[in-house]
Chain A
Amino acid sequence: MKIQLRFFASVREALGVSQEEVVLPSSIDTVGKVRDFLQQRGGVWAETLSEGRSLRMAYEQQMCGADTVIHDGGEVAFFPPVTGG
Chain B
Amino acid sequence: MIRVQTEDFDLNAEITALRAGSPQVGAVVSFVGTVRDMNEGASVAAMELEHYPGMTEKALQDIVERARQRWQIVDALVIHRVGPLLPKDQIVLVAVTSAHRGEAFDACEFIIDYLKTEAPFWKKELTPQGARWVDARVTDDVALKKWDVAETQQGEQD
Contacts and interface: CB of A to CB of B under 8 A. Distances in A.
Interface of A: 6, 8-10, 13, 51-58, 61-66, 77, 79-85
B155 A58 contact: no
Contacts of B134: 83
B120 A80 contact: no
Contact of B136 (A53, A77, A81): A81
Given A6-B52, A51-B157, A58-B120, 17 more contacts: A8-B50, A8-B122, A10-B133, A58-B52, A58-B55, A61-B58, A63-B59, A65-B156, A82-B122, A83-B116, A83-B122, A84-B91, A84-B119, A84-B121, A85-B80, A85-B91, A85-B115
Contact of A82 (B91, B92, B120, B157): B120
Most B C-beta atoms less than 10 A away, residue of A51, A77, A84: A84
9 contacts: A6-B52, A8-B52, A51-B157, A56-B155, A65-B154, A81-B158, A82-B153, A84-B115, A84-B123
Interface residues of B, number: 34
Interface of B: 33, 49-52, 54-55, 58-59, 80, 91-92, 112, 115-124, 133-137, 153-158
Contact of B123 (A64, A66, A83): A83
